[in-house]
Amino acid sequence: MNEKQKNGARVQGYLFLLLYAFLFIIVGKLFQPFLSVLVWAGVAYAITQPLYTKLAILRNGTERPAWFRSLLAGILALAVLVMIVGPMILIAFVLLGQLNDLSLIIGDAYQRYQGLLRGSGLTVLSDRLLEMTGGVVDISSVNLAEQTVKAIQGLGEHVVGVTGLVLRNATSMIAGLAIFTFTLFFFYVDGRHLMKVFVDAMPIRNELSAFFLKKFRDTGRDLVLGYFVVGLFQGAMAFIVFLIMGVTSPLLLGLLTTIASFIPMVGSSLVWIPVVLAKVLSGDTTGALILFALSAFFISTLDNLLRPLFLKSRIKMHPLLIFFSIIGGLQLFGFNGLLLGPLLLVLFFTAVDIFARTYGRKVRRHEANGEGGGIDDIEQPTHTDDAPAN
């Protein structure tokens, strides 16, 4: 082949690469509206796939008939849907009732203590606060009564707005759940074939594409078990403790505990410590001490016991990075960011490791020592001779 033919072949190669990149982007845009459904269905599949495989294969290693596998896939997909939707509907109804009760309690407390927020009561409160803070905090010019009324009204308007938003998006939520179930069904039935299609379509070596899929599966499963499940356990335990201790709106506080469990270092204590302080201020010192002991033992201890058990040291990442990836994920992807944020961060470090190993770069010392971020504990992509020399 002469030089002219080589140049022509090179130009054709570049043109084909541009065409491939264009089509790759277009196909990505095509699937973008369903990204969240695909991700959550993929995570649900990663968690439940061992159960499906165990039921779909006989003891001698042969697969059951196709009709049985399809029926099993449909049953499991519907079961996962019920496990997700059922508790959500129950919690929503109970929360609406408890939010109403909470608003009534706040209004009653305002009526009872509004004397402290105006007139001589405000003067006494302002003087005491000024004395306690050494003259730093002065609220004598603040209309606390007006601000309290505005805060209560704002809370009510926010609750009404959220309820209306949920009702307006009910149709899209139902459609999304239907697509989720449909996708999960085909993941069960044709999961291996679909993964092969994905691996062949990626513009990198097949073993690297397969490695990314494996990392996605393991990370998604570990994130759900290590953070979501532990958060649900903590929320459920908080609900039980608050219910036993007679705390107002235990389900609402349990839900807030689940959300707070994603915050590193402090976590669920952001919820139960203010509840303990509220009991102290109400004069129930004994109840506050009992609540403190129960919360510290049954709520906060779960984080230290269950999270390492579920994660099994697979996600070796500093809690601060997890925290910022969750916050950034929520800003970029909404609710899906709870999963997509940490998942993208883990995949980024995986890509860095693959690049380092493929191109012969030096592996970071903390990873080589097994202190986090590395991929030494799972299967490595093979090094091939086609990697560029240093």
pLDDT interval class at 186 (50, 70, 90): very high
- The predicted model gives 97-102 an average pLDDT of 66
- Tokens of residue 363, six digits: 């592996």
Q: Look at residue 166 and tell me whether its pLDDT is greater than 70.
A: no
What backbone phi and psi angles, to 5 degrees, belong to 63? -80, 150
Contacts of 337 (CB under 8 A, 6+ apart): 326, 328, 329, 330, 331
pLDDT at 366 (0 to 100): 43
Q: Look at residue 98 and tell me whether its pLDDT is greater than 80.
A: no
- The predicted model gives 96-109 an average pLDDT of 64
Contact (Cβ atoms closer than 8 angstroms) between residue 311 and residue 226:
yes
Query: How confident is the model over 343-367, as pLDDT tens digits?
Result: 888 888 878 877 777 766 544 444 4
pTM of the model: 0.62
Residue type, 383: H
Q: Which residue has the higher pLDDT, 11 or 163?
A: 11
Q: Look at residue 253 and tell me whether its pLDDT is greater than 60.
A: yes
Average pLDDT, the chain: 74
Task: Give the least confident one: 252-266, 271-285, 315-329, 368-382.
Answer: 368-382
Query: How confident is the model over 124-165, as pLDDT tens digits?
Result: 555 556 566 665 555 555 555 556 556 655 655 555 566 666
- The predicted model gives 271-287 an average pLDDT of 84
Query: How confident is the model over 298-332, as pLDDT tens digits?
Result: 888 777 677 666 665 555 667 678 778 878 888 88
pLDDT at 363 (0 to 100): 45
d(CA 283, CA 297): 23
pLDDT at 79 (0 to 100): 93
Residue type, 172: S
pLDDT at 28 (0 to 100): 84
Task: Give the least confident one: 18-32, 181-195, 205-219, 233-247.
Answer: 205-219
- Tokens of residue 31, six digits: 């699937």
- The predicted model gives 212-227 an average pLDDT of 77
pLDDT at 179 (0 to 100): 92
Q: Which residue has the higher pLDDT, 256 or 75?
A: 75
pLDDT interval class at 209 (50, 70, 90): confident
Task: Give the least confident one: 52-61, 181-190, 224-233.
Answer: 224-233
- Tokens of residue 290, six digits: 């009992």
Q: Look at residue 372 and tell me whether its pLDDT is greater than 60.
A: no
- The predicted model gives 189-201 an average pLDDT of 82
pLDDT at 102 (0 to 100): 64
pLDDT interval class at 183 (50, 70, 90): very high
Task: Give the least confident one: 137-146, 197-206, 266-275.
Answer: 137-146
Q: Which residue has the higher pLDDT, 201 or 270?
A: 270
- Spell out the domain ranges in the chain: 32-201
Q: Which residue has the higher pLDDT, 29 or 168?
A: 29
For the chain, percent of residues with pLDDT exceeding 70: 67
pLDDT at 123 (0 to 100): 52
d(CA 53, CA 6): 50
